[in-house]
Structure 1
Amino acid sequence: MKAVYIVIPAYDEEKLIGQVVQDVAKEGFTSIIVVDDGSSDTTSQAAQSAGAIVIRHRINRGKGAATRTGIEAAVQLGADIVVTMDGDGQHSPKDIHAVIQPIMENKYEVVLGSRQISKGAMPSHKIVHNKIANTITLLYSGIRVQDSQSGFRAYSRHACTLLDTTSDSYEYESEIIRLIAAHKLSYVEAPISTLYTDYSTSKLHKQDIS
């Protein structure tokens, strides 16, 4: 059985991170790494109490940096597959099974979770924003994908060792796609469900204007 590690970057997520960790564990995935990206609240304590391995950045370095830290730690701990997902509750842990399956079957090295494939999974204003980002990513990488900004992804161990990212912020997702092309990694998109609450939407708005 391949070792699956779940990496969750988190910044000031004390309200939901504990529940997210518990929900992931309920799906049978207990190797969970939360990277607290310099939170000013009790994100670390909440994640640790819920059973996660916690790595803490002393300062807020950005989602890309936090994700990279988590992936590197997972590989060092022996992960065969690494799944990344957000810590604000918008991703369903039930979808982990679907995003790892193509890698478990040795069909692909990277699986990109896509909200665009799942009808109704993304608010209309996010669809417009995402289409613009998809076009920029296409020009940047040469790869056309339906959801270039999704943080819900799965990687084989081999892919993790090749994706030598440098982006620290939200451009990280697009950089990954460029590196998939550069290293000629096999990839596929998989539909994921997304729960947009007032809480997660407010955080997304902050990301859009930052």
Structure 2
Amino acid sequence: MDSHQKQKIVIVMPAYHAEKTLKDTVRSIPKGCYDEIILVDDCSTDNTVETARQLGLSVFTHEVNKGYGGNQKLCYQEALKAGADIIVMLHPDNQYDAQLIPYFTGFVEKGVCDFMLGARIRTRKEALKGGMPLYKYLSNRMLTLIMNVVLGQNLAEGHSGFRVYHRRVLKTIAFKDNADDFSFDAELIAQAVYHGFKLGDAPMPVRYFSEASSISFKDSSVYGLKILSTLGKFIMTKWRIKKSPLFKRASSDDEVTD
């Protein structure tokens, strides 16, 4: 692509029961910083779909609940089909500060990074004051440290739900074979590192409130174990001990046609 040609930016929203927060989320996005917003609804029983259509979003729905990771898969497939050069994942729960989207996409547009994450944690005081539960803060710190050591990265946080990808990342990684649950996110990071993409992050203020999506303590524990499993597969594949299919390149069948 010509470096002077405007790149198409598509925001994707994996949604589940987001009726109460969707309008505020969309209205908080700066005008002119995107070309299209795609919302994929994962069998919500509220009016998420109707609200999204009223807001003029491109809406896709699942007939059965696919899970957080499964929902993202369709988000990315549809964004690539729409010709997106840069894909922003923004949760429709109004938790992340959407005003910073142009800042994050700038890193990818300029080629500084291929994959950007919004880091919710800068200092312990700031994270806890913002409403992050203590158990989540502690587990986040520990898992991020382990991820950085294993993957050779220096991320402030490896578990953020705010992400910006260049299309080549999602065209290279066989993400359709990833987990359908929350561990999908960690798998994508490990896959991006394995395939040599440049990762970066920057501070992203967040809000914790009753309507914001969250993960329970039990699910957090399972998530942590699955991350460790993913990192184990990364080590085994990197050192050619036992190759995991998680790190294969997307085949012609996996790739999304434009």
Task: Give 1:132's aligned residue.
Answer: 142
Q: Distance in 2 between matches of 1:98 and 1:158?
A: 20
SS in 2 for 1:199: coil
Aligned to 1:150: 160
Give the alignment of 1:181-192 within 5 angstroms. 181-192=193-204
Q: After TM superposition, where is structure 1 displaced by more than 4 Å over at least 4 residues in a row?
A: 138-142
Residue 122 of structure 2 corresponds to residue 117 of structure 1? yes
Q: Identity rate of aligned residues, in percent?
A: 27
RMSD (Å) for aligned C-alpha atoms = 2.0
SS in 2 for 1:24: coil
Q: What whole-Å deviation, never above 9, does each CA across 1:127-149 have from its counterpart, x for those lacking one?
A: 21211332453476454422111
TM-score (norm 1): 0.89
- 1: CA distance between counterparts of 2:39 and 2:113? 25
Q: Which amino acid aligns with 1:209?
A: K
Distance 1:139 1:47 in 2: 41
Q: Distance in 2 between matches of 1:17 and 1:198?
A: 14
**Which position in structure 2 is the counterpart of 1:87?**
92
Paired residue for 2:103?
98
C-alpha spacing 1:34/1:145, structure 2 compared with 1 (3 Å): same
| CA positional deviation for 1:73 | 0.6
Residues 143-152 or 165-174, more deviating: 143-152
Residue range with higher mean Cα deviation, 92-101 or 140-149: 140-149
Write the distance in 2 (CA, Å) between the matches of 1:28 and 1:81: 11
Q: How far 1:71 moved relative to its partner?
A: 1.1
Q: Distance in 2 between matches of 1:158 and 1:80?
A: 8
2:173 paired with 1:173: no
Larger radius of gyration: 2
Contact 1:71 1:160 in 2 (8 A): yes
Paired amino acid for 2:18: E
Contact 2:30 2:99 in 1 (8 A): no
Cα deviation, residue 198, structure 1: 2.8
Equivalences, count? 207
Aligned partner letter, 1:155: Y
Residue pair 1:22, 1:51 contacting (<8 A) in 2 also: no
CA distance in 1, matches of 2:74, 2:215: 25
Pick aligned residue for 1:71 from 72, 76, 90: 76
> Gaps spanning 5+ residues in structure 2: where?
1-5, 220-258
Please say if residues 21 and 47 of structure 1, whose CA atoms lie closer than 8 Å, have aligned partners that are also in contact. Answer: no
> In the TM superposition, what is the alpha-carbon distance from 1:67 to its structure 2 partner?
1.3
**Cα distance in 1 for residues equivalent to 2:79 and 2:109:** 17
Which deviations, in whole Å up to 9, do the C-alpha atoms of 1:97-125 show, x marking residues without a partner?
Answer: 11111111112111111112377245251
- Show CA shifts across 1:72-94 (max 9, x none): 11111110100001111101111
**Structure 1 unaligned regions, length at least 5:** none
1:196 and 1:86 mapped to 2: Cα distance? 13
